[in-house]
């Protein structure tokens, strides 16, 4: 006699329902972002996205540790950083596709400078200028305004 299975086998209909449910929940979260803002097809002008969080500074990546994600090539300083990014890219990628929060608020998203950044509440933001960076650092309301503006821009 065969041992009894602890859970009944999934029917095709139940499996399809689970897939549809997952897609319905995951799609809005993924739709929040867009491909990275790049002039050359290289994200963050070749800086390592994970290093911002690990080392607290912009670090040049290497073509030896690279991958393509959201329409851009991402470089990393080490295989470990590449692996971390692969496991959870949204945790490391800059908000607003790398656009400066102030330009997002203005309704005209412009790429931020990868050397001018701030990490706030575990998220990476790039600024276009030192002045913009100072305003972002000293006015937490800018991020909330940019979040609202980004949502409206994405709905267009």
| Residue 103: strand, helix, or coil | helix
**Considering the entire predicted model, what is its pTM?**
0.77
Convert the pLDDT of each residue in 88-113 to its tens digit.
999 999 999 999 999 999 999 999 99
Residue among 54, 51, 58, 78 nearest 66 (CA): 78
Q: Residue 153 CA to chain centroid, in angstroms?
A: 17
HEC readout, 13-24? HHHHHHHHHHHH
Q: Is the pLDDT of residue 2 over 90?
A: no
DSSP secondary structure string, 24-54? Answer: HHHHHHHHT--S---SSSBGGGGB-HHHHHH
Q: How confident is the model at residue 31 (pLDDT cuts 50, 70, 90)?
A: very low
Q: Between the ranges 8-17, 25-34, 115-124, where is the mean pLDDT highest?
A: 115-124
- The predicted pLDDT at position 70 comes to 92
Residue among 98, 103, 97, 91 nearest 132 (CA): 103
Tell me what the mean pLDDT of segment 111-127 comes to. 97
Q: How confident is the model at residue 34 (pLDDT cuts 50, 70, 90)?
A: low
């Amino acid at each position: 006699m065969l041992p009894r299975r602890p859970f009944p086998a999934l029917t095709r209909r139940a499996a399809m329902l689970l897939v549809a449910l997952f897609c319905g929940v995951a799609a809005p979260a993924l739709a929040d972002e867009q491909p990275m803002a790049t002039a050359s097809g290289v994200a963050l002008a070749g800086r390592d996205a994970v290093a911002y969080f690990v080392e607290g500074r912009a670090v040049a990546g290497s073509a030896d540790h690279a991958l393509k994600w959201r329409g851009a090539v991402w470089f990393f300083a080490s295989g470990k950083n590449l692996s971390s990014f692969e496991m959870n890219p949204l945790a490391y990628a800059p908000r607003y596709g790398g656009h400066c929060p102030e330009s997002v608020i203005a309704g005209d998203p412009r790429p931020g400078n990868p050397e001018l950044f701030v990490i706030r509440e575990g998220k990476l933001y790039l600024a276009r200028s030192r002045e913009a960076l100072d305003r972002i650092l000293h006015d937490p309301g800018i991020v909330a305004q940019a979040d609202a503006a980004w949502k409206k821009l994405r709905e267009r």
